Amino acid sequence: MNMDAFRLDGKIALVTGASYGIGFAIATAFSAAGATVVFNDINQELVDKGLAAYAEKGIKAHGYVCDVTDEAAVGALVKKVEEEVGVIDILVNNAGIIRRTPMLEMSAEEFRKVIDVDLNAPFIVSKAVIPGMIKKGHGKIINICSMMSELGRETVSAYAAAKGGLKMLTRNICSEYGEHNIQCNGIGPGYIATPQTAPLREKQPDGSRHPFDQFIISKTPAARWGDAEDLQGPAVFLASDASNFVNGHILYVDGGILAYIGKQPQ
């Protein structure tokens, strides 16, 4: 096997919301594999923080301010990236939010906001980059899905609805544009230790684990939370020529949670 198939030399990768966390980890892995990194975030402060973090790792990233729920702004972003960096080869729809609110306490407006960022935005950004990919004759789209693309849980009705929809958007992009040598796949992270999940891992006043932290450890065969770095290898694979016949697939990187029914009570 030619291991060069996993290289991303000469490719331009746009990772949305990649100033920190999962997006940042994936973008740094792309850079290590030879890609040019482009990212956006919602405001200049976050973009500047991201640029500083990439520079600290010796990566010359290209950062832009853009609200990925704004179709006109996304169109302008993609045009600017094409002019200043080049046509996008790889897109990672990573930007996302979560609201942990019981369904009966969540307003329709809050529900729509989560759907807008976690589902509508990947549609908008994918729609903006696909024409360039068609012209180039290839493209890779990776949607950051979730275990909530398969499971439900208390307080995350909007998030689960969005991520379930994102799974099906992934399959539909594959169905519509696979003939143009565009592969659209998803990564479904398990519980990853990021700033977003930090409240769920806080130590209790008595020094014990947060109850949810205990729950996740008990449900994960790997017996730990994932690190953002655990997603780097799968992301590089799905962005590279090594996955050219993988399309419409969701790769769950969850330490085995979805395969595990849990321990029998003693």
Structure tokens at 171: 């399959």
- pLDDT tens per residue across span 59-106: 999 999 999 999 999 999 999 999 999 999 999 999 999 999 999 999
Q: Which residues contact 88 (CB under 8 A, 6 or more apart)?
A: 12, 13, 14, 38, 78, 81, 82, 129, 132, 133, 139
- The one catalytic residue among 54, 64, 159, 252: 159
User: What span, in angstroms and rounded, lies between the C-alpha atoms of 43 and 25?
Assistant: 20
Question: What confidence score (pLDDT) does residue 71 get?
Answer: 98
- Look at residues 215, 118, 129, 219 and name the one whose alpha carbon lies nearest to residue 159: 118
Predicted structure pTM score: 0.96
Output phi, psi for 69, to 5 deg: -90, -5
159 is catalytic: yes
Question: Given this model, what pLDDT does residue 198 score?
Answer: 87
The pLDDT, as a whole number, for residue 2 is 83
For residues 192 and 231, give the distance between their C-alpha atoms in angstroms, rounded to a whole number.
9
Higher pLDDT among residues 194 and 43, named by residue: 43
Nearest to 173 by CA among 181, 220, 211: 181
Q: CA 113, CA 100: separation in Å to the nearest integer?
A: 13
Beta strands 62-65 and 36-41 are parallel
Q: Which amino acid is at 195?
A: P
Q: Give me the DSSP letters along 131-180.
A: HHHHHHT-EEEEEE--GGGT---TT-HHHHHHHHHHHHHHHHHHHHHGGG
Q: What is the 3-state secondary structure (H, E, C) of 104-131?
A: HHCCHHHHHHHHHHHHHHHHHHHHHHHH
Average confidence (pLDDT) over 46-58: 98
166-202 CB burial, b ≥16 within 10 A, e <16: bbebbbebbeebeeeebbbbbbbbbbbbbeebeebee
Over residues 47-52, the mean pLDDT reads 98
Q: For position 180, what pLDDT does the model report? A: 98
Structure tokens at 234: 């799968």
As a whole number of angstroms, the distance between CA 158 and CA 89 comes to: 31
